[in-house]
Chains A and B, each alone.
Chain A
Amino acid sequence: MTENYTALYEEHKKLGASFTDFGGWQMPLKYGSELAEHHAVRNSAGIFDLSHMGEVWVTGPDAAAFLDYALAGKISAMAVGKAKYSLICNEDGGIIDDLIVYRRPADAEGHHRFLVVPNAGNAKVVAEALAQRSGSAREGGFEVAVDDVSAATSLIAVQGPKAEEILLRLVPAAQHELVTGLKYYAAVEVSFLVGGASRNLLLARTGYTGEDGFEIFVENDDAAALWQSIVAIADEGELTPSGLASRDSLRLEAGMPLYGNELSLEGDPFAAGLGPVVALSKEGDFVGKAALAAKKEAGAGSTSGRKLVGLKGLGRRAGRGHYPVLKDGNVVGEVTSGQPSPTLGYPVAMAYVDVAYAEPGTALDIDLRGKAEPFEVVALPFYKRSK
């Protein structure tokens, strides 16, 4: 597999990171203790390098109609400035990726503009699928340009209750209201001080940790300076560089699915609890519509098949991905993600289980390397921040 390095690789090395391969990228796993990084994000703030994520611009007079066709959500209904979680499916209703779509103001020629952010390992596939769908999808195709800028774009996240306070120190006072007024799942262009220079950057109030937080899109050339500026302005202990290990434990507590664990080409959105993301009622056809309608009709994830649930461990040992879930010794499901929850102090797991056993309160076991350990079905997410 190709080894990709983000523009921040040297910064991570300076901070003593240990690295892991993720989606073909060498990414920081942790800088010191992944538990300390996890708690920092819950209690103060953490900074993450997410430059391995993809960025694909979709621009043109048909951009909204095209994304309605290419994705499962009703993208044309989005207001300018908003972000939306969506799925890109294949004709069989399998999930190619989950992604976030940002609707940006139209350009000078009045063309609609959307920024699509797929996962690292899927960025190429998503960009290619969008390009392919734009050309051959309907009579004459869509008047839209698909521009994959992933290779030139870095993404830095600041997550945690102190995230806003930290960001305000990087933007001029005249722009503070843009930051404080930014709603969850929305984005705005903000002028940042980056290494002494002023840069107009796209700031999104989105994230993957269950906390308040921001994601900043920046060109690779400015990424290291922005990273250093953020790390430098935060006082000791307020902002902790955080790696993918803590990102995974944070997102699991927040009940957020991870592509490759909870979501896959073989899986279906209804079983994953993402039924509301699939806009079957939107006008016109979209890729995967017929298959998805059939799955919904068949009661996928509600009366048939398996459903994604949360499992709370009653002992101290954690279930891990692919471990069998048992009811009275019979296999009724499989763990997709699991580990001890640093915030809650007990093991948590997400698992697909037969719908008959998906009700919160159901007692199930996880087969922990030959021993059945008791767990209980609980509603997701495991952790919800107090507002």
Chain B
Amino acid sequence: MAKVAAELQYSDEHEWVSRENGNVVSIGISAVATDALGDIVYVDLPEVGSAVTAGETCGEVESTKSVSDLYSPVTGEVTEINPVVIEDPALINNDPYGAGWLFKVAADSEGPLLSAEEYAAKNGGEL
């Protein structure tokens, strides 16, 4: 069963949010989502400096079988993207909560977020 990292918060669209310094958050997608997608082969991330809005699409995640929109779980400005996953999207499958992180945002506000317990209960993940 797909792992749900206990220390993170989650959106209904399967993104996770990790608080860094001040209002900066790191964002990735959950193992529940990467399992469902299959092997990820391409990822399209928002540009550094662009504005993202909680609950709205800001990129794409493409697997061998399908393509999914990437939603931002927070509202703010993109401060950094993970260049490594663009070159090696398989990292998103292999280490979704670590090296497979996607982008960082200086967040003004957050969309509705779930605790790890709530997310796992809803999506069948394992804490």
Contact = CB atoms under 8 A, between A and B. Distances in A.
A175 interface: no
B64 A316 contact: no
B122 interface: no
B67 A340 contact: no
A18 B38 CA distance: 10
A245 B42 CA distance: 17
A380 interface: no
Nearest to B38: A34
Contact of B64 (A18, A35, A317, A369): A35
A329 to B, nearest CB: 22
A273 interface: no
Given A245-B38, A316-B42, A33 B93 contact: yes
Interface string A187-198: 000000000000
B42 A317 contact: yes
A249 B42 contact: no
A139 B52 CA distance: 73
Contacts of A38: 64
Contacts of B31: none
A317 B62 contact: yes
Contacts of B93: 33
Q: Most A CB atoms within 10 A — which of B38, B62, B64, B66?
A: B64
B64 A245 contact: yes
A35 B62 contact: no
B39 interface: yes
Nearest to A315: B42
B67 A320 contact: yes
B38 A340 contact: no
Interface residues of A, number: 17
Contacts of A316: 42
B39 A318 contact: no
A318 B38 contact: no
A317 B43 CA distance: 9
Contacts of A342: 64
A30 interface: yes
Nearest to B39: A35
A249 B64 contact: yes
Contacts of B41: 35, 318, 340
A30 B62 contact: no
A217 to B, nearest CB: 29
Contact of B39 (A33, A317, A320): A33
Interface string B78-115: 00000000000010010000000000000000000000
Nearest to A316: B42
A18 B64 CA distance: 15
A248 B38 CA distance: 14
Contacts of A248: 65
B21 to A, nearest CB: 33
Interface in A240-258: 245, 248-249
A339 interface: yes
Interface string B19-39: 000000000000000010011
B114 to A, nearest CB: 24
Contacts of B90: 35
A339 B64 contact: yes
Interface in A275-322: 316-318, 320
Interface in B50-80: 60, 62, 64-67
B42 A34 contact: no
Contacts of A34: 38-39, 64-65
Contacts of B38: 30, 33-34, 245
A45 to B, nearest CB: 20
Interface string A356-387: 00000000000001000000000000000000
Contacts of B67: 318, 320, 369
A339 B39 contact: no
11 contacts: A34-B38, A38-B64, A249-B64, A317-B60, A318-B62, A320-B67, A339-B65, A340-B62, A340-B64, A342-B64, A369-B67
Given A18-B35, A34-B38, A245-B65, 4 more contacts: A317-B60, A318-B42, A340-B42, A340-B64
Interface of A: 18, 30, 33-35, 38, 245, 248-249, 316-318, 320, 339-340, 342, 369
* In the A-B complex, the 7 residue pairs with the closest CB atoms: A35-B39, A340-B41, A316-B42, A34-B38, A339-B64, A33-B39, A34-B39
